[in-house]
Amino acid sequence: MATNRIFNFAAGPAILPLPVLEEAQRDLVALPGVGMSVMEISHRSKPFEAVIQECEANIRKLAGIPENYHVMFLQGGATLQFAMVPLNLLAAGETADYITTGSWSEKALKEAKKVGNTNVAFTAKADNFTRIPKQEELKLTPNAVYVHMAGNETIHGVEFHQPPDVGSVPLITDASSHMLSRPLDIAKYAGIYAGAQKNIGPAGCTLVILRDDLLQKAKANRAYEKLPIMIQYGPHAEEKSLHNTPPAFAIYVMNLVTRWLLKLGGLAEMEKINIRKAEKLYAEIDRTGFYRGHARKEARSRMNIPFRLPKEELEDKFVKEAKAAGMDGLKGHRSVGGLRASIYNAFPEEGIDALVAFMQEFEKKNG
């Protein structure tokens, strides 16, 4: 049935597991036992309650999220979290630390600056965002209200394989493009957020995981009561993402994705597959020097792999010919240029093999 699907290397919205799409298609018109589409039922109905509760339970199980963390399904994308984090947590007279390792963490910083005092604890800008900080490079503020980072920079292809040590200061990570790609040590983080459309579902839903003491801290912030209710974490956390109508269809598809991950064996299994896929592609990038990876080796992302060719004309040619060969979404982000292969959880290993074979052919003809 899926013979007309090509290899989709897009950064986001991105590829979803085929069995998930097929199940959503099969049940689109009528959920089994319900007789209506998931798009047509009340978000307060029993069938939808079952969907959102299972989705939360599966995410807790997959990621190992303890009881003292809230799991929320919000809207507004990761971009709204850039604002919600400081609006809730950064009170007058306090300072928030930001580690910037690429475009997304820079955008997060820009939003926080509108709200309160910030400190750039580290920036890799001078290195063209090719690396993550060494522990001793971090200039952390003692008693910062939180430290913000982006666990995986989708555009620059830079990933933290271990979180930085920030002592007892709460660590908040934008995990949009690597959430559920591998186990994360949740206890190291006080807050995690991820737009679903990269690795966990369709656009329209943002997963937010927040430790309860941060929620209590937000509520004690004097500015909190003045925030629009949709910006406050409290109602979303306390009403289990049902303060208003949630993105029901996106949550339904996310739930199917979590089932797919559980069936596969969970995040440790997923990580093994992701390591194998990424290593295959990096091995080809490093093979002769014709291709050049953007990120330094120790900071290489397993999800987003930006790379360059010797000449820009060749890059355009590569994108065009790859597309003709059934590989789409390989053009790099305009800020980095070159090419980028996004190889999220759902991206099949055959697609990596196809790209590697194509790269070898292309080098033979143009190298």
* Catalytic residue ranges: 104, 174, 198
Nearer to ligand PLP, 178 or 217 (CB): 178
The rounded distance, in Å, linking the Cα atoms of 282 and 193 is 28
Which residue number places its CB atom closest to ligand PLP? Answer: 77
Contact 206, 81 (CB under 8 A): yes
The rounded distance, in Å, linking the Cα atoms of 342 and 301 is 10
Query: Does residue 13 have a cis peptide bond before it, meaning omega lies within 30 degrees of 0?
Result: yes
Q: How far is the CB of 84 from ligand PLP (least distance, A)?
A: 11
Distances (CA, A) of 358 to 305, 325, 352, 355, 363: 16, 8, 10, 5, 9
Q: How far is the CB of 290 from ligand PLP (least distance, A)?
A: 28
- With b meaning 16 or more CB within 10 Å and e meaning fewer, what string describes 324-336? ebebebbbbbeeb
The rounded distance, in Å, linking the Cα atoms of 178 and 343 is 10
Nearer to ligand PLP, 278 or 314 (CB): 278
Nearer to ligand PLP, 157 or 284 (CB): 157
Q: How far is the CB of 223 from ligand PLP (least distance, A)?
A: 23
Residue 62 exposure: Cα atoms within 13 Å on the Cβ side: 28
Residues binding ligand PLP (CB under 6 A)? 12, 77-79, 104, 150, 154, 174, 176-177, 195, 198
Q: How far is the CB of 150 from ligand PLP (least distance, A)?
A: 5
Q: How far is the CB of 221 from ligand PLP (least distance, A)?
A: 23
Nearer to ligand PLP, 91 or 115 (CB): 115
Nearer to ligand PLP, 150 or 270 (CB): 150
- CA 237, 240, 244, 247 torsion: positive or negative? positive
3-state secondary structure of 89: helix
